[in-house]
Every structure is written in C-alpha cells, then in structure tokens.
Amino acid sequence: MRLGRFLLTRLLNAAAILLLVALLSFLMVGQAPGDYLNELASDPQVSPASLQQMRQQYGLDRPFHIKFLNWLQTGLAGNLGYSFVYQRPIADLILERIWNTLLLNGVALVAAWAAGVTLGVVAALKRGTVVDWLVGALATLLVSTPAVIVSLLLLMLAARLGLPIGGMSAPDSEALPLAGRLADLARHLALPAAAVTAVLLPAVVRHTRSAMEEALEADYIRTARAKGAGRARILIHHALRNALNPLTTLFGFSVSALLSASLLVEVVMSWPGIGQLTYDAVLRRDLFLVVDLAVLSALLLMAGNMAGDLLLRLADPRVTEE
C-alpha cells in the first residue's frame, strides 16, 4: 500500500513538473526575438503571402496561451507536432535519436559504476596508502574537469588511438557482417562513452569509498572477524551489502548527471542523439521541437530519480515516505 502511494505521489509530482517545464520552455522560446520563418523571409523565392500562410498553418500567429493549449491538447492525444526545420513529425525524429542517447548513457552508466565501485572499494581497503591517494587524486582531477574539456582532450587523442571522430558508424558499415557492424559501433561509441563516464566516475568512487570505510569500521564487522569470517565474506556479504543504501540513493542522481553530461558530449563529439537534435532545434528556433525535447529531457531525469528512490525502498524496507 505504501509503495502504491509512493508511486502515485511521484507520478503526480512528475506530471506537475512536466507541465511547468513545458510552460517555461514555451515562454522562453517565445520571448526570443524572431522565429524559424524569419530566416525564410530573406529568401527572395519565398513570398510574404507564403510566409503568412505558413504562420497560420503552424499556429505561430496565435497568442502565447493559445499555442500552449493547442500543443498540450495535441500532445495528450499522442501527437508531438511537426518540425519546421526537418519537415517531419517530431515523434519520428525523437524515436530515431533517443535510442542513440540511451545506448550512450547505458554504456557510460555501466562503465562508471563498475569502475567507480571497484576503485572505491580498493581505496577503502587501502585507506591511508599510496593507492588510496592515487584514487582520490584521479577523482579530484575528473570532478574538476568540465565535460566539454574532457571531450576535447579525447578528440585530440582520437587520431593517436585510431578511433573515429563523429557519428556512430562508418559510411560503408552497411556492407559489413553483423560482427563488423558491432565492432564499428563500439569504435564510434568509445570516445563519447568515455567522456560521459568521466563525469559520473568521481561521485561513485567517493561515495563508495566513504560508505565502505564507514561499514568496515562498524561493530558488526568486528564481530564477524571475531567469529573467524573470511576476508572475502566480510567484504562482500557484510561491508558492501550494508554500503548499498547510500549508493542506491546515488543511482538516481547519477542518471540525471549522465543525461546532462551526454547532451553536451553529443554536441561536441557529433553523436547523433537527443543532445545534438536539441542543439540544432534551439539554434534554428524550431519551437515545438525545442519544447518537446525539453519535456523529454525532464521526463528522463525524473525517471532516473524515481528509479533510484524505488531501488532504495526495495533495498531497505525501513525507508518510508515522510
């Protein structure tokens, strides 16, 4: 019953936040001078009558509140609108790009947590040693370096590493067998995934080290040692298991951080995902595409936070909603 109330509360909060994000996006884009059709006005082949007809067709000549209500009504009906720039339904554009963003974030999420938990556990076990200092120095260096700088540095190393720059496949990849296409995708994915992983890695390392250090100094660890429990059992069954709660809380925030970082990395490294699409839509003032992508980004962020909260409740039944 409590779980159902928790999910209902989160869903109601999410709906309110998405509505607010859409409203603010409409307001900010609408306050920007000009619109997409202003660029067409400089084309002598496009007559003023044609421009006026297009404004009426897309509803750009209507007041702000009318445009917002029309967008909301069509969105609730499953119609995300039409892109001015791409001359295609927005739903088709999002479906083409979102899987690329999810692939990038999924690989980066697994890599960051696998490497971060390993380094954090090692640092906790070797606290006060050179190994602990090196892990801490690495985390400090990465957390102090913006994602765009990491991306640019990796691009500079791309030629030396023999990795491609931009895109997610080679021009002739369609002619390759399945194994060849997967290898080509992995080569294109390596640099963007490394850049996004670098954003999350310091937080996972630090939280893991702190949680493990606290767990290793707890009374139940001393009791387990006194009973003759092996080092591996103490580490995995007792210390790491009890360190999961703070790490579970971090999971939701890590999804949010990854998505924010990946949007920037996609632009810098020309990865064809939601970030690149958002950048183009903002530059070219594609009103409805910008709003839809802003709402989609907010939805993905809240989904990550909700997943983290849900995992925490499942991992520790003592956690209750206030």
Burial of 313 (0-12, 13-18, 19+ CB in 10 A): middle
List, for residues 227-280, the tens digit of each pLDDT value.
666 565 666 555 666 666 667 767 767 776 777 778 888 888 888 888 888 888
Structure tokens at 72: 């909301």
Show the CA angle centred on residue 134, arms to residues 133 and 139, nearest 5°.
100
pLDDT of residue 111: 92
Give the integer Cα–Cα distance in Å for 58 and 73.
Answer: 15
pLDDT at 283: 80
List the structure tokens of 266. Answer: 């996609």
Single pTM value for the model: 0.79
Over residues 308-319, mean pLDDT: 63
Q: How many residues does the chain have?
A: 322
Measure the CA–CA gap between 156 and 135, rounded to whole angstroms.
Answer: 25
The pLDDT mean for the chain works out to 78
> In CATH terms, is domain 94-315 a member of 1.20.120.420?
no
The domain segmentation of the chain, as residue ranges, is 14-90, 94-315
Could you give the C-alpha distances from 161 to 111, 154, 170, in angstroms and in order?
A: 19, 9, 17
Helix, strand, or coil (residue 98)? helix
pLDDT in tens, 165-217: 777 777 777 777 778 788 888 888 888 898 889 888 888 888 888 877 776 67
Mean pLDDT across 137-144: 88
**pLDDT tens column, 33-75:** 666 666 666 666 666 777 677 777 776 767 777 777 877 887 7
